Amino acid sequence: KATCFAYGQTGSGKTFTMQPLPLRAANDLVRQLHRPVYRNQKFKFWLSYSEIYGGELYDLLGDRKKLLMREDGRQQVCIVGLQEFEVSDVQISLITHSSSHSKRRRDGSNQA
């Protein structure tokens, strides 16, 4: 599992900084899968995309519903209700398109 996380005030450049990271990470994963040592392995990719905005947690790939963050019995943080989708190595390279669904862009909070 991997997580990319950006924190900061509105207009500080989080989106600009983070936008290329998921695509680069996805491309690196796909490139690794095509190495001879991994070629015969049965790897699966699962993708979820969430956003914390205004103190609320949202699912950006689902129906943008509010989510709850909890800690399980093993002290692992879980996002209750966050949808995960299995993706192919072709689909994974399109991750950055999901950022267009972010609440920040929908309500214009970064407009001057």
The C-alpha atoms of residue 69 and residue 77 are separated, in whole angstroms, by: 7
* Contact (CB, 8 A) for 22 and 91: no
**65 annotated ligand binder:** no
**Considering only CA atoms, which of 50, 36, 67 is closest in space to residue 103?**
50
* Contact (CB, 8 A) for 59 and 52: no
**9 annotated ligand binder:** yes
**10 annotated ligand binder:** yes
**55 annotated ligand binder:** no
The C-alpha atoms of residue 98 and residue 78 are separated, in whole angstroms, by: 21
**8 annotated ligand binder:** yes
**11 annotated ligand binder:** yes
**15 annotated ligand binder:** yes
The C-alpha atoms of residue 49 and residue 95 are separated, in whole angstroms, by: 9
Binding residues for ATP are 8-15
Binding residues are 8-15
